[in-house]
Structure formats: structure tokens, C-alpha cells
Amino acid sequence: MAFGPELEQAIARVRQDVAALHAELARSGLVVWTGGNVSGRVPGADLFVIKPSGVGYDELTPESMILCDLDGTVVGGTSGSERSPSSDTAAHAYVYRELPEVGGVVHTHSTYAVAWAARGEQIPCVITAMADEFGGPIPVGPFAVIGDDSIGRAIVETLTGHRSRAVLMRNHGPFTIGRDARDAVKAAVMLEDVARTVHISRQLGDPVPIPQEAIDRLFDRYQHVYGQSTDTRFEKTPE
């Protein structure tokens, strides 16, 4: 399929970004073998780019990324279209359809976040890094089957009206969203960090809650002092 030159350039940029960001998941220890995935919306089009299914992280290239429409259908005749997309493609597509401000979706199998998901327990907001980045606890979404849009529906339902950019899908693992793919990857990295820290804290005793007023103040300061993005939900944070 042929697109106009501007759209072709936009697709190429997202392909490059998404391929590189999968390497960041591996470097950060958030995935094992071929599990997990990153996707990125193509600006100005009802398209997104996602990882192929069952391909090792060291084999991923921009050309091997798969272009899909917002129904999760592979765009035929495009680079990578001979492969099957990630098994989570329908979930990513649902998020993009329902949340137009979202430009990136990430799923990992990071150890500590998955451990909280296996317990079906939200991560309480007991450290300032959580208040800064997520504005409160990390919520738990319901158990949902893999392969259709059930996970996507649960992500949207759980995060709607919530400040968190991360959700723990019960008995499965974390999904994060962001204004673009890089922002969603950052949320996944930060999520695993706080999941580990709070877990260790609980081994020492009962973590001390942060008052809601302080959480609100910390979140507002962190999100606004560094500038705000054009999306109303996602605000620029320091790198």
C-alpha cells in the first residue's frame, strides 16, 4: 500500500522509535525472551506500529515492525506485513480507538509489577516518586483473556478518570500508556522501579501512607514545573 510522502515519513519515524524502544525494555530488565511489546500511534493517521509476534528482541528492526489500522488489522503490502503482529494487538488497537490522546502503549512482564498483579493488589502510593509520576496508587484491572480486545477494554475502563498511566492487569502484568511510545516506555520503567521499592518496604514493615493532599501537591508540581504537553491527559516530565 502506498501513502503520501509525509505520511510515509511519519510511519518510518514511528517504526524507528518503536524498534529502538523494545531494546530499552530489554536493557531495563522488563522483559524475557519474546514477551512484552511496544506500540506507537502514527501522528495524523488512524494507524499504529507494533512488534511482530514471537520475534527475539535482538532481531527487531524498523522494517520488521508491523503497521496496523485502529481495528488491529495488518496493513497489507507494507514492510513486516508477512508476519503476525503481537498477540496483544487487539488490546492496543482498542486503547488507541477509545483514547485519542494516547500515542503509545507498552506491555511488559517485569518481575515486581507482575508479582503485584498476581496478588490482584494495587501498589499503594507511599513514596514521592509514585506521587510525582503516577499521581496516586497503581490500580489493578480485572482478569481478561489474551487475543481479543478484552484487555484493551479493561485498560480503558480502569484508567478512565484515573491519573495513573499504568495498570496492573490481574494475573497477567502491567500495561502503560503515554503521549507517545517513549513516554509509555518511561512509565513502564518507573512502574517497575516503584513496584520493587514498595515491595522491599513491605518486607521491613508497614509503609507509611502519604496524605492525599501531599500527593496532589507533589503530582501538580512535578507535572507542571517542567512544562505541559499539548495533550490534556499527558504532561511533560523530566528525562
Residue pLDDT, tens place only, 54-98: 999 999 999 999 999 999 999 999 999 999 999 999 999 999 999
Q: How many domains does the chain have?
A: 1
pTM comes to: 0.93
Distances (CA, A) of 106 to 1, 183, 215, 226: 27, 10, 25, 24
In a domain, 194, yes or no: yes
- Is residue 225 pLDDT above 90, yes or no? no
Q: Is residue 37 part of a domain?
A: yes
Helix (H, G, I), strand (E, B) or coil at 176: strand
Look up the domain containing 9 and give its range. 5-225
Report the C-alpha gap between 58 and 56 in whole angstroms: 5
80 in a domain, yes or no? yes
* Cell numbers found for residue 20: 529502538
The answer to whether residue 236 is domain-embedded is no
Q: Is residue 234 part of a domain?
A: no
pLDDT value of residue 163: 96
pLDDT at 233: 59
Instruction: State the CATH number of the domain containing residue 37.
Output: 3.40.225.10
Look at residue 238 and tell me whether its pLDDT is greater than 70. no
Calculate what percentage of the chain has a pLDDT beyond 90: 90
C-alpha cell belonging to residue 152: 484493551
Classify residue 123 by its DSSP letter.
B
- The pLDDT score that the predictor gives to residue 229 is 45
- Residue 60 and residue 36 in contact, taking contact as beta carbons nearer than 8 Å: no
